[in-house]
Amino acid sequence: MKRFVVVGIDGSVQSESAAHWAAEEALQSGRALRMVHVAPGERGGLAPEDAPEERLPAPVAAIRDRVVAARPGVDASCDRTTGNPAYVLAAAGERAGLLVVGSRGLGGVVGRLVGSVGLRVAAHARCPVVLVRDGDAGTQGEVVVGVQGDRPCDAVLAFAFDQAARRGAALRAVEARTLASGPYLTEAQVEQADIQEGLAADRLVHLEDALGRWREKFPGVTARAEVVVGGAADVLVAAAHGAALLVLGRRSPAHPMAAPRLGSVAHAVLHHAHGAVAVVPHD
């Protein structure tokens, strides 16, 4: 059975960056690339037989051609369909196991806000979703993963280590901690900074333990753990500056009827991160 990397393209510069990122991912992982253009309409679902490639809008066809020309070794196809873009792309990604979408950003003092399709897909898809900014199709730099040492998530760490291994990149596991701010009642005078340093050191032990078996499984990946005092979103955005990829987890709903949602940290990071961000669903 052929395995795919699915990417949504709509003719925008952001979707072209996403398509180049997905093409490189397909080459590295030995999978085929499936580009999907979703036009708004009543009928949903992919039906290439009644929506041939020649009906692609010119900007979308141009992106397809540039992506294929840039990476002639990739097994690429491009489908056009109609429906709700977020739901159609999420369904296509779930069948393939990985979905890549462009992430629109406004820049400037108002922040780099993510488009509604990107947010909906990241919240609903039951597969890892990578959101790529305009101009961020490159793969250089380390892989950063946000994690809690006392609540390690296998799905998130597995995805992050696999990405680092295939890129030949280092991995940095970052835990953000907002530590209590005194007053502290002790028999001896202790500086608040000393207490915070001790608490951070304790968290670092848990984080190192969480990485232990993944270091054994991926011996070629240089992984380091880091505990940073501060708000989780701010810490992760800062840690990922210049990184090839930031990996976050998204908890799946505990009840099957509950609506999926992004947590507040993932939501904030997606709005303000400057590079590619992967959101990995987990139980």
129-132 and 277-282 beta bridge pairing = antiparallel
Task: Share the mean pLDDT of the chain.
Answer: 82
- Cα 54 to Cα 57, 79, 82, 84, 92: the distances in Å are 8, 10, 15, 21, 21
Q: How much is the pLDDT for 35? A: 97
pTM of the model: 0.84
- Taken in order of first residue, the domains within the chain and their CATH numbers are 1-137 (3.40.50.620), 139-283 (3.40.50.620)
pLDDT band at 117; cut points 50, 70, 90: confident
Considering just the CA atoms, what is the radius of gyration of the chain in Å?
A: 20
Buried b (16+ CB within 10 A) or exposed e, 189-213: eeeeeebbeeebeebbebbbebbee
pLDDT tens digits for 33-86? 999 999 876 555 544 434 445 578 999 999 999 999 999 999 999 999 999 998
pLDDT band at 107 (very low <50, low <70, confident <90, very high): very low
List Cα–Cα distances, 213 to 5, 17, 176, in angstroms.
Answer: 27, 34, 22
